[in-house]
Structure formats: structure tokens, C-alpha cells
A and B are shown apart, each in its own frame.
Chain A
Amino acid sequence: MLEVTINGRTYWVSEGKTILQAAGEVGVDIPALCADDRLEPFGACRLCLVEVVGAPKPVVTACTTPVAPGMVIETETQRVVELRRGVLELLLSNHPNDCMLCEQAGHCILQDLAYRYQVRRNAYPGERRPALPEDPNPFIAFDNEKCILCGRCVRTCDEVQGVGAIDFLGRGFGTTVGTGYPGGLEESPCEFCGQCVAACPTGALTDKKSRGLGRVHEVRRVKTTCGYCGTGCTMYLRVKDHRIVGVDPDFASPVTGGALCVKGRYGYDYVHSPDRLTRPLIRRHGTLEPASWEEAYAYVAENLRRIREESGPDALGAITSSRATNEDNYAIQKLFRVPIGTHNVDNCART
């Protein structure tokens, strides 16, 4: 641990951290757009500028400067606030100001910072980037007009996912993010894990499947665990009007470190398929016909009892689901072991 002073208060912080991380540890919020704990420091957005008192060049980027013992740091001096305003004015001069319809309104660092520093869009009127045609893939929407070129998506795809499907394309004012392949994401090595969407600090990258179905203040977030493979990725379901409208990763998960795959992130809406079984069915004269739960329970119990009485409990058996919860599996093994009286219980994982 080492001692530093931030905004006049003294703190003990961990060694080997950047100013941005150390400040975060003690609850001092330094604004940043391009920083992401999972990624190498990048120093692109210039919003985390702070002053280190007494340093030869006092204004530094907090995301790339390591903390040192005795450092005296000011995070909201007039000088850095003016610099931040300038950066935000430049970003907004090339931004469509589309918060009304933007999927990320209420969940956008750019919007929060514009509000925090009271910056409007019109400081630098002039040319704006033209919108690119939409990528035809079914999951990931990229609105280049809202991209601030912080590189979090590009670096996440490379450093976390290890795929590198996207990169900066072009130069200067014409710079954008893309695959470099003519067919867009579907023709690229993209695996549709959605980690770029989760990393985007603005509304540039959003989930197409969730479009128009509810913004952050309208949805309830329910923490659960993915139901596909045995990794056990925890996640947040976005729920509105009794429907799951999207999935967000759990950045605090010790299992995932904030990642999900395409199935976990985008394979959720089968739950609402019209094909679902919604009523008990009993076979009568060769066809399955709807029945009430009372009829179904009675029918099942009667047949289980009859076979048990005629041939003994071992004439019955259960194969349980390794897709179902622990509690459901416990319940079925108890049903077969206790009232029925057989150990003929297996789960489907043998195959």
C-alpha cells in the first residue's frame, strides 16, 4: 500500500495501480471513456486528465500514469475541467444528438459526462460524419455516428475474446471501426459474443434484438446463471412487460470475468416461443389431448401406483434432466426413492 493525496484527502491505495484505478478504489470518480479494467491502458479519450501537483508536466492521463508514494492529485481543477469540456465539445460536435431514440440513453457515459460538465453540442458547427449502411448481421448494431473511437470494442475483441474481428479503418476524420471485409461481421471471424457491445461507452454498439423493447430505466434486471453449457456464466436478464428483452454480462463474476458467448447473450428468446408446452396432455385413443392438472396428476399417480402394486417399485424408473435445477433434480429423486421406493433414478448426462 502507498499513501497519496487526492483532492486534499489522504488515502492508502494499492501499489502497481494507475491513478484512475487507485482513485476508483477509494471512491473518487475520474471521468473516462476509453478505460476498461480488463484491457491494457490506452490513453485515447483524454477525459481522465488530472493534475499531479509539483510534477514538471502536471496534467497527465490518469489511466496511464502509475500512482507513486506521496503523490498529490487534483481531479477537478478549473484547468482539467476546461480541458474535459473541450474534449466533450469536440466529441459532441460530431455526434448526432439522438438521445431521444438512442437505446443507450440513461446508460451512456458520454451522455452522463455532457450532463456533468454541462456541455452542449453546438460549440463547433461544421461537417459531420455520414452514417454508414447498417451491417446485416442479426445481433450487433453499429451506429458509426455515435462512435467516439475509444477503441474499447476493438481492444476487447482482440485482448479478451482473442478474435480481432474488428479494427480501426481509415484515417483522420474518416476513421471508423469495422471488419475490413466487404460482407460485414458475418463474413468476418466475429463470433457474436457481444463483448464489444458490453464494452461500448456510448450508443454506437447496441443489441439489435433488444431495439425498441426497453431502455435501462424501463427494465428490471434479474441476476441468474446461463442455462446452456457447464461453464456457469452469471448474467443479468433485462425484463420488461413479462418478457426477457436482453442479456447483460456480470462483470463481477469469478467464473466469466464479464464475458458471455453468443448463446448466453443472444439465445434467450426461445423461452417466449409459441411452440412451448402450456397445458398437460394425456393420450386418449392414440392422440395427445389437453387435460387439467388435476386429471394429469391423478392419471400419473394412478398408473405409477398400479405398476408398483403389480410389479414392485423397480418396475418404474426416472431419467432426470441435467438441464434442470438442483432443486428439481433433488425433488424427482426423492419422488422415486420415497413414495415409490426405488433407486431407479439416473440423469441424462450418461449420454
Chain B
Amino acid sequence: MTNSIAELEDAPVILLVGSNTAVSHPVIALRIKKAVRRGAKLIVVDPRRTEMTDLATLWLRLQVGTDIALMNALAQVIIQEDLHDREFIAQAVDGFDEFARSVQEYTPEHAAAITGVSAADIRAAARLYASAPKAAIVYCLGVTEHACGTHNVLSITNLAILTGNLGVEAGGVNPLRGQNNVQGAGDMGALPNVLPGYQKIVDPAVREKFERAWGVSLPAQPGLNKNDLFRGVLEGKVRGLYVHGYNVVRSDANANYSKEVLKNVEFLVVQDIFPNETTEYAHVVLPAAAWGETEGTYTNSERRVQRVRRAVEPPGEAKQDWEIFQEIARRLGRDFGWRSSEDIWNELRSLAPTMAGISYQRIEETGLQWPCPDENHPGSRFLHAAMHEGRQRGRLTMVEHQPPMEQPDEDYPLLLTTGRRLYHYHTATQTRRSRGIEQILGREQVDVSPRDAAALGLADGEWVRLSSRRGEVECAARVTDDVPTGTVFLTFHFAEVLTNDLTNDAEDPLAGTAEFKACAVRLDKLGRKAAGGMT
């Protein structure tokens, strides 16, 4: 997030894109609800009806996978009606003329034909967003989990740049992170192209700094990302994989492909807290300490580094991850010399200038937000203020609408989109083992629109088989107008319904993220089944 969670309460206009916040980030949703209660206008872009669309001043119910057309049309209206921030653009933005020309063809009428959102609503949304003294954009995986995910993000960011909403309090562009430490894993350099603190491997000065600190010679070129590693396995180039706290088989799109990769890797180490579909392929399984048993820090969506503490001992012989990694390193001839998680953090902050000022002592009670370059720095609530002071520049980037890789056709006439429900988390290995949650929500249901249900002669609660080009699952249907006609919805919480057997692993060429949010499926009615028999 460029800005802070608490600031959302003060935003006069919030543009929320592809985020069922009340379900996926319930405590952030409270800030948005409070803003609305105080009179803020909320524009929600979502194909599904959610608690958030019920709160919206304007709900732009676009077809799945048409975000770019919509965002470009918003930009077109903003420029056409002279609602852009000329002063900010003159001072800090490159590429305006070219961008303005390129969105010309995305008139509201043209975008309405692609997205299904009326031209009048597009105009109203553009005026609402661009006329506000400041406005926040919040987005989530509905934007990024597409084969054009990076372009979706760019098309959204263009709006904030056009209107000068970057570098202002209660404004900005705010991706909500799906997992507790997505932000931190990247910050720590668990990426193939950067070292800790997003310092580029290709920069010789960066490499030299790390080489001196670590006493090693580092390769000058980036490594392979997850998708390339998997391809490398099937090509015979990658022979060993270490999978750390990640249920590949259940979490990744196109599970059959994941299984094929794991079957073929010569040496697979899996380190996790529970046995799961991925440990079944492992040559070695290492038992890790879980949340509640570990010491350290997580970094949340707003870049706030917060303490995590050991409340109970890990069970049996399970150990905290870093202790295991350090022992393996020792057996490969390197002693990292860490005696505590704080030792590791201190090494990190000596090498990553953006986090240098964050010590365990300073975050004993309350976390700090990076950038925080020194121990007197209060941390950064929002980023890019320098753009308003002529010290930083941004660029408008033209992107073109690209439909989902798989379109409904005669064989697979419906579009499946996926997400979460409030009571479960991801593959539900934690929530289904927490007493009581199963009582509230214990099984998967596929959401089917009333019109699609009628076409299939399907009644609420009847079972269906969902098939895609990659696999099939069976589950009960929930007939609801939460989903638009032509679209069905599943989560990936339940082992009984392996949603990622269906999803499309077509990936974004820039980010490598798969198209979890759109694939073509067919529904076949199976009729009634005994409730106890299937779930």
C-alpha cells in the first residue's frame, strides 16, 4: 500500500477494485465502512455482489476480466472532461500526451460494450473519483490474478497519477496483501531478481555490498522464479526443490500440472506444519514451528513491521524455520552465527537501508512502517510525497484491454471465478482444524446465477459436476444473484472440491501470476445427493 490502513477512514472517495474486503480483509473493511458512515463515496468494481457492493454509491458490475477497458474509459472521461490534475502532471508525470491519445478510443460507449457497465455509470464514476479533493484506490487479487494482472494494475495506477492522488494522505494506490507476510517475504529478498530490501542483483555496487557482508561471490544474473523452476524440472534442468510452507498442489492453478512437476523432481524437501497434498511427493519432510510458536516479525500490507512472539513451544521435535535453514547451511560449510531471530533482523537491517531504522526495541509495542532509514525516523505512513515537491517523477503507461485467456465456448459455456469466504483461509488447513468454524461453514458450494440455474433445470442445493479443460469436481450448487449470469464462483478452501484442478495456469508474462479469476467451465446437473455422503 502506498498509504496506511487507518487513513482510509478519512478518504472522501474510495475506488475499490476486485476486493471483497469484508470477507478477505475484514478489519480493513471496517475502515471503509466507517468512511462510508461519515459520508465518503464508495465506488466498487466487482462482477460479484458482496457486502462491499451493498455499501457502494456506485457499483460497476463489470464482466470478469475487463478491468483495463473500464479503467481506460475512466481515464478517457477524466481527460475529456478536463478533470485531470494539470499542475501535478506538468511537475511530476511523463508520457501524458501519448497516454491521452491512446485512451481516446476507450469512450464510455466502447467500454460499455466490453465491460457491460453502462456508459452513464462510467462517466459518473470518473467524475466522482476525479473531482474529489483526494481519493484512495484499494485493490486486491481480483485485479492481479489474471494473465493481464500487471497491466490491470498499471491501468488502475494511471488514474491516481492523472488526478494527482499519489503522495497524498488518504489517497494513493493500495493493494491489499492476501497473506500475513507476502510483503515481508518480498522485502527479505525471497525473490529471484532482488536481494533483501529490493536491491537489484544486476547492480554491481549492490552485489559488492552483499558479497562483502556474506563473504561469498554472488551470481551477477537473476535466478529463476517459481514458474521457471517448475518448467526447469520438466526440462530436466532443475533437480532439487525446497518447498517452504506452501501447499503447491492445492494452492496453484492447474493442480495436475503441479503434481506432474512434483512427481518429476529428483529431490524434494517440504518443510511445513501439517502433512498435506504436497508432502505426499516429498523425499524429506521437516516439521516446522507454527504461528504462536515462532519469534520474529511480519510486515503487513501497509509496510508495517510488527513483532510475532512465541507463546507456546512447538510440538514434538518441530523447530522454527530459520533454525533448520541455519543447520543445513552449517552442514554445507557456512556458519551464519545467529542465536536469535533478532540477530537475523539486525543483519537484515544492516544491509537494507529502507529498514535500517527499525529495531526490535523500537517495535516492542507498536510496529513501524518502512521506509525508515535511521533510528530517529518515525517511519512512513504514505509514499511518493516527493512527487508533489518536484523530487520524484511518475509515468502514465498505456495498456490495452486483453480478454481472459480462456473464453466461454460451446463446450465450456460458463466462466469460473474464484475467491474466499469469511470463515476459511486458503486451503483451510488451519481454519478447518480450529474448533467451531466447521459448524458455521463446513462445505463448498458453487454459486450459480438464477438464470444459469434455470437453463440447467438446477434447484438450490442440487449437485453439479464442474468440468474445465484441465479437470472436474463435484459439489452442491447455491443459486444466488451474487454472481452475474454466465459466471460461477468457487473457493479453494475445501479438499473435497479441488477447485484448482479446474483453474487455468496461463500466467501473466510480467508477474508470473496465474489466471485464477477466469477459466471456462461446463456444469452438468447431478441431482440430489445425501448430505452426509459427499462432504
Contact = CB atoms under 8 A, between A and B. Distances in A.
Contact of A351 (B196, B279, B308, B514): B514
Nearest to A185: B440
Contacts of B512: 350
Interface stretch (B82-90, B216-224, B453-461, B523-531): B216-224
Given A270-B431, A276-B273, A323-B181, A139 B286 contact: no
A260 B27 CA distance: 6
Contacts of B185: 320-322, 324, 326, 329, 347-349
Contacts of A263: 422-423, 425, 431, 437
A252 B267 contact: no
Question: How would you classify the secondary structure of chain A's contact residues: helix, strand, loop or mixed?
Answer: mixed
Contact of B229 (A275, A319, A321, A333): A319
Contacts of B273: 276-277
B204 interface: no
Contacts of A159: 37
A180 to B, nearest CB: 19
Interface string B44-66: 00000000000000000000000
A297 interface: yes
A303 B6 contact: no
A150 interface: no
Nearest to B229: A317
A12 interface: no
Query: Looking at A232, A253, A270, which has the most chain B CB atoms within 10 Å of its CB?
Result: A232
A246 to B, nearest CB: 11
Contact of A323 (B179, B309, B341, B366): B179
A230 B176 contact: yes
A202 interface: no
Contact of A293 (B182, B292, B317, B437): B317
B272 A277 contact: yes
B81 to A, nearest CB: 33
A317 B245 contact: no
A346 B301 contact: no
B341 A325 contact: yes
A339 B332 contact: yes
B190 A333 contact: yes
B178 A326 contact: no
A283 to B, nearest CB: 5
B425 A326 contact: no
B412 interface: no
A307 B246 CA distance: 23
A224 B367 CA distance: 11
Nearest to A321: B245
Contacts of B306: 225, 232, 234, 255
Contacts of B76: none
Interface in B398-420: none
A298 interface: yes
B304 interface: yes
Query: Looking at B176, B287, B326, which has the most chain A CB atoms within 10 Å of its CB?
Result: B287
A217 to B, nearest CB: 18
Contact of B312 (A239, A297, A337): A239
B318 A339 contact: no
B100 interface: no
Interface string A297-317: 111110111010011011111
Contacts of A319: 226, 229, 241-244, 246, 248
Contacts of B431: 263, 267, 270
A138 B37 contact: no
Nearest to B364: A223
A118 interface: no
A203 to B, nearest CB: 20
Give the size category of B's interface with A. 35 or more
Contacts of A160: 30
A338 B218 CA distance: 8
Interface stretch (B123-131, B231-239, B476-484): B231-239
Interface stretch (B159-167, B344-352, B382-390): B344-352
Interface string B281-302: 0111111101111111111111
Interface string B177-207: 1111111111111111101100001000000
Given A351-B253, A351-B513, A242 B313 contact: yes
A229 B178 contact: yes
A261 B238 contact: no
Given A230-B25, A338-B216, A339-B334, A315 B513 contact: no
B312 A255 contact: no
Given A162-B30, A225-B298, A345-B191, A328 B242 contact: no
Contacts of A311: 237, 239
B298 A327 contact: no
B214 A338 contact: yes
Contact of B433 (A139, A229, A273, A310): A273
Nearest to B317: A279
A235 B127 CA distance: 40
Contacts of A340: 332
Given A222-B309, A224-B309, A328-B321, A304 B240 contact: yes
B225 A346 contact: yes
A340 to B, nearest CB: 7
A320 B266 CA distance: 19
Contact of A267 (B282, B286, B325, B434): B434
B316 A276 contact: yes
A209 interface: yes
7 contacts: A227-B292, A229-B179, A280-B317, A288-B285, A316-B241, A317-B242, A349-B182
Interface of B: 4-6, 24-28, 30, 33-34, 37, 176-193, 195-196, 201, 214, 216-219, 221-227, 229, 232, 237-246, 248, 251-253, 266-267, 269, 272-275, 279, 282-288, 290-302, 304-313, 315-322, 325-329, 331-334, 336, 338, 341, 344-345, 347-348, 365-367, 422-423, 425, 429-431, 433-437, 439-440, 511-514, 516
